[in-house]
Every structure is written in C-alpha cells, then in structure tokens.
Amino acid sequence: MKEHVVVIMPAYNAAQTLERTYRDLPMDVVDKIILVDDVSQDETVEIARRLGLETVVHVQNRGYGGNQKTCYLEALKDGADIVVMLHPDYQYDSTLVPDLIAPIQRGEADMMLGSRFLGGQVRTGGMPLYKIIANRFLTLCENLVLGLRLSEAHTGFRAYRREVLETIPFLLNSDDFVFDSQVIAQAVAFGFRIGEIGVPTRYFDEASSVNFGRSLVYGFATLWTLVKFAVHKLGVAQVPQFSTPLRDVVSRYHRASLFREAGG
C-alpha cells in the first residue's frame, strides 16, 4: 500500500518564494501539503490559500520551533506515514523529495537530512563563510557527542518516518531555532537511524536566513543541548527531553488523533 507522504512548510514572510517552492514539488509523490503561518506580515497566507494548500495560521508568533510543533501535530493528525519538512523560502530543491524519502521507504533510515555539504559548492551557492565555519564546527561537536557521522546537522530539509514523530517528545523542545538540533539528539536518544543525501546550496536575497547574532545564540543553545544529552547518556541525571515519549507528554484527550496504536 502506498505510503501517505505529507510535506509540511513552517512559513514566515514567504510570499516571494512560496509559489516557486510549491511548483517544484513532485505531486505524484506528495499526497498533502500543510503550511503553518507564523503571523507573516506579507501575503503568505493569501498565496497559500490560492494554491489550495491546507493552511494553519497561528494566533500569535510562536517562533521557528513553535511553528514546527504545529506542523508535526497537524501531519500526525492527517495520518502521514512520512513527513517532509521543507522551508518555503526556495533555499532547498523541492524536486529532491523523492530522493530524500527513498531510504525511509526502503526501510534503511527513520530520519533523513538534506545536506548542503554533500551537495557541494556551498560557497558558490552563496552560503556565507561564517555560516560554513559555524555549521562545520557544530556538526563536528554533534557527531562526537551523538555518535553520528553527518556532513551537516543544520538543514531545513528533512524527512521523518511517522514512528519518529510519534515517539520523540518534540513538544518539550525550544520554540526557537535550536529545535532542529534538539530533534536530532532526541532521535539518537530513542534509537532511530539517521541518514542524509546531498542537496544543492541556494542562498539569495528572498531566502530566509538567520543573522549573525541569532546564529550565535543558536550555536550556544546547540552546545547546551549536547551537554544535556551527555548528562543523560552518562546517567548523571534523567533529562525528560531525551527519555519521555511523546504519548506521555500530550493530553490523553488528544492521543486518539495523534497516535495509531491504541496504547498511544
């Protein structure tokens, strides 16, 4: 039976790039697109609705991580077997969704990352030098602490098997950008397999990008996440973020809509 593939788009001021991102999606593979708008000040919502996307609009701005939380909850409620997270800023190549999810479909991985470093040409693709250095350094730290061999751990193009999102307590994560790093650490903590494919690098004026100050905050928050993971792994203290399954985090009144198993 064909797996139900849902693409989720955490959106904020993506009016200039949303339609291009959408048009490149291979709709013979994608069954549903859910866009969550985090109180954009442009025409993102109007464009999403014109394109026929299922659109959820936050009452107030909840941040990048808070947006993803809504995205994943909506995808689980929709019955997704595979969830693809794609930024609607056209920085990532939508046409590569089939390649990204293929290892999950073959049972070789539970979570997949689209790596710009495997894709090559990060400098010619426009990635700022400070971002390259920071990305490489943080990925090295994550590989050492988490026992991974990733070329990039800081990508906005990802795919998940449903069981990953039904298990990791992503609702306990930050509402800020470090959410992405916390999800990877949680996937490792709960024993899921992580793979990656190469994707091209696309930086341009309309693509969203975190400035230097926010990048610095993100970097320290990622390192703090690794400290907490190490403390948990070594048994010094139990950290709920890496030990409490999602079913024990959500209200019992929502379990039936989020989990497939009766025990969820």
Enumerate the domain spans of the chain: 5-258
- What confidence score (pLDDT) does residue 66 get? 98
**What does the pLDDT read at residue 124?**
64
- Give pLDDT, residue 123: 62
Segments of the chain scoring below 70 in pLDDT: 119-121, 123-125, 204-210, 262-264
pLDDT at 176: 96
Instruction: Give the rounded distance of the alpha carbon of 76 from its chain centre.
Output: 14
Cα separation of 208 and 35, whole Å? 16
pLDDT value at position 214?
Answer: 83
Q: For the packed helices 179-189 and 212-233, what is the interaxial angle rounded to 10 degrees?
A: 20
Architecture in CATH for domain 5-258:
Alpha-Beta Complex (3.90)
* pLDDT the model gives residue 263: 47
pLDDT the model gives residue 77: 98
- 3-state SS, residue 147: coil
Element of type H or E holding 179: helix 179-189
pLDDT at 213: 80
pLDDT at 165: 98
Q: What is the pLDDT of residue 49?
A: 98
CA atoms of 209 and 91, how far apart (whole Å) = 9
- The answer to whether 200 and 125 have CB atoms below 8 angstroms apart is yes
pLDDT at 125: 64
**Scanning the structure block, which residue is given the tokens 């693709």?**
125
Q: In the prediction, which pLDDT does 202 show?
A: 80
What pLDDT is attached to residue 127? 78
Q: What is the pLDDT of residues 103-155, one digit of tens each?
A: 999 999 999 999 999 866 676 667 778 888 999 999 999 999 999 999 999 99
- Compute how many other C-beta atoms are within 10 angstroms of the C-beta atom of residue 41: 9
